[in-house]
Chains A and B, each alone.
Chain A
Amino acid sequence: GDSVTQMEGPVTLSEEAFLTINCTYTATGYPSLFWYVQYPGEGLQLLLKATKADDKGSNKGFEATYRKETTSFHLEKGSVQVSDSAVYFCALSNSGYALNFGKGTSLLVTP
């Protein structure tokens, strides 16, 4: 079945450091790919998404490119802030069905 694998956390970075959170997927067909973020004490929020190969999703300085050849959707940000501290979830959806989530990666950004 479909699945998502993302890098283990926690990830600890200093403010203004470069962030990469790896995500790879296994799926039949052409899934849509998502990154969701969960800030402490809050619900899941859509961060960005891509619906076809080579699409780049971007939001709040975060980017991820849908790479079909490597079945990857890595999340990147050039300069993280303390306010980016959260748990990040990679997810996929096939043919409009329910989201299938990875286990999440906790990010802590220190001043």
Chain B
Amino acid sequence: EAGVAQSPRYKIIEKRQSVAFWCNPISGHATLYWYQQILGQGPKLLIQFQNNGVVDDSQLPKDRFSAERLKGVDSTLKIQPAKLEDSAVYLCASSSPRVLKKDGYTFGSGTRLTVV
């Protein structure tokens, strides 16, 4: 079974520029999550999708961050405009009720964003 795919692995941008990250979850996983992991901290949930609907986006800074999951499969996370404090690793994870109790949540390798 293929894992959660994310791209790009690394991105360096200047502040005020825009950037987008892509995630392809495990096939059949209805739930998709985006997390932000700042260096030295635990991952923080940004947004949770169930199929193509948003379940929780309470911690998403909506003035600059947006996310979509068209057709309930792939997802993109966008930052526009980026700030220095957005430098972090952006993690995508997926799960399904069928595997949640057995395997938990599966994380991608993440995209490391550096804003200069």
Contact = CB atoms under 8 A, between A and B. Distances in A.
Instruction: Report whether chain A binds chain B.
Output: yes
A99 interface: yes
B104 A46 contact: yes
Contacts of B104: 34, 46, 49
Interface residues of B, number: 23
Interface in B80-116: 91, 93, 97, 100-101, 103-110
A99 B45 contact: yes
Contacts of A32: 101
Secondary structure call for the A interface: strand
Secondary structure call for the B interface: mixed
A106 to B, nearest CB: 9
A48 B94 CA distance: 17
Contacts of B33: 98-99
B109 A43 contact: yes
B28 to A, nearest CB: 16
Contacts of A45: 107
Contact of B48 (A46, A97, A102, A103): A97
A34 B95 CA distance: 14
Interface string A88-99: 010101001111
Contacts of A103: 40-42
Contacts of A102: 42
Interface residues of A, number: 23
Contacts of B14: none
A44 interface: yes
Nearest to A101: B42
Interface in B29-78: 33, 40-45, 48, 55-56
Contact of B43 (A44, A49, A93, A96): A44
Nearest to A103: B42
A111 B83 CA distance: 42
6 contacts: A4-B42, A43-B107, A43-B108, A96-B100, A101-B44, A103-B41
